[in-house]
Amino acid sequence: MMAEKIPFVNKEKLEEIASQYATPFYLYDEKGIRETARRVNKAFSWNNGFKEYFAVKATPTPGILKILHEEGCGADCSSYTELIMADAVGFKGDEIMFSSNDTPAEDFQLARKLNATINLDDITHIDFLERVADIPDTVCCRFNPGGHFAIANNIMDNPGDAKYGMTREQLTEAYKRLMAKGVKHFGLHAFLASNTVTNDYYPELARILFKVAVELKEETGASIEFINLSGGVGIAYRPDQPENDIMEIGEGVRQAFEEVLVPAGLGNVRLYTEMGRYMLAPYGALVSRVIHQKHIYKEYIGLDACAANLMRPAMYGSYHHITVMGKENAPCDHMYDVTGGLCENNDKFAIDRMLPEINIGDLVFIHDAGAHGFAMGYNYNGKLRSAELLLKEDGSVEMIRRAETPADYFATFDFTGLFNRD
């Protein structure tokens, strides 16, 4: 028997929302977002100065970022527009982390103007940053250990194939060069595996980074003041997967901290995280209505949403659980491909999925779309981005982004006159 995934709204409430806002739309759960931010802060409260810098790219929506800011989170940006958004929402100075790669000059210039903490992806970016802006007092460097990253002999990911970060030798060289250029406060960062569903990822990563920090301190004498564990903490997309336990993760990191950093005199190091998925994925859903049903060689359900609204199934073959609203207790005795309307055969939210019998007009709740969901949307086939709605703690609903209209789609053309020809 599979564990259940229960939508954070019931059918009645969702129909009420859908009577006011056209489907498809994204719906976010303020309560879940706040509770998770508080749990994360509690899990790391043993560390003086801990901060979660929410990865803006996961859910770049001001209405969401504002909630996280209120809960004490910072913002981790990776581009010029994300920096603008973080600043507009009210994140200031060291509340903004800038973890980019292949970085354009304008992005570094804006990051410096906002006094964001810059996380350098490459050793050549030291001279580049100095040339296009200046070298700040505080700099973080991103580490790539190469090879495979394994936990208890299970390969989690392949950093040796990843474009990010500096080699171990480059880190020492980078710290020395930065010190020579006047940098006083150092940070260290790495992102070694994505969507990890194990409580061991952060503790393993922390141990690696803590050891490197101790070595760097000995080799260079640099003042290492923060270590950034970045993102990568996953969620259980499938109902039968175990959930990560953030309290246990925080405790695992604490043990590594006590064993490695404290004896080396680095007990004042502040820990940072840059989680996106863990913070938001379960608290956002894509809500869509069944508009067609088709029987050829297989049984197809046609939604009014498509892969342009949620790309993960088409792009990665990701599993997203689907609840047919009001049929939560009906037997899953029908096998369907659940599709969107793109002229692409990979536009399927689910393939051969056992679901209750579906009728045209049913509302479907596509779970765990709150991170890397709306954000990865696109306009292929001229499809328009949906609205984003926030279900507030008091049960009211706020539109935090309106749906695109054809005028938005055409906004980058000079069509003066073309649309007003009455």
Binding site for ligand PLP (CB under 6 A): 55, 57-58, 76, 99, 191, 194, 230-233, 274-278, 371
Question: Of 77 and 305, which has the nearer Cβ to ligand PLP?
Answer: 77
Question: Looking at residue 116, what DSSP letter applies?
Answer: P
Residue 77 a catalytic site member: no
- Minimum distance from residue 301 beta carbon to ligand PLP (Å): 29
Question: Of 145 and 340, which has the nearer Cβ to ligand PLP?
Answer: 145
Question: Of 61 and 230, which has the nearer Cβ to ligand PLP?
Answer: 230
Question: Of 65 and 324, which has the nearer Cβ to ligand PLP?
Answer: 65
- Minimum distance from residue 90 beta carbon to ligand PLP (Å): 21
> Rounded CA gap, 364 and 14, in Å?
10
Six token digits for residue 35: 């509770």
- 3-class secondary structure, 97: strand
Q: Checking DSSP bridges between strand 25-29 and strand 284-295, what pairing results, if any?
A: antiparallel
- Minimum distance from residue 30 beta carbon to ligand PLP (Å): 19
**Burial class of residue 359 in the structure, from the number of CB atoms within 10 Å of its CB (0-12 exposed, 13-18 middle, 19+ buried):** exposed
Question: Of 187 and 231, which has the nearer Cβ to ligand PLP?
Answer: 231
- Minimum distance from residue 57 beta carbon to ligand PLP (Å): 6
Six token digits for residue 279: 């913070």
Six token digits for residue 125: 């970016």
What is the gyration radius of the CA atoms in the chain, in angstroms? Answer: 23
The residue assigned the tokens 């973890």 is: 99
Closest CA to 5 of 236, 226, 268, 222: 236
> Rounded CA gap, 249 and 238, in Å?
20
> Rounded CA gap, 97 and 140, in Å?
9
* Residues with catalytic function: 343
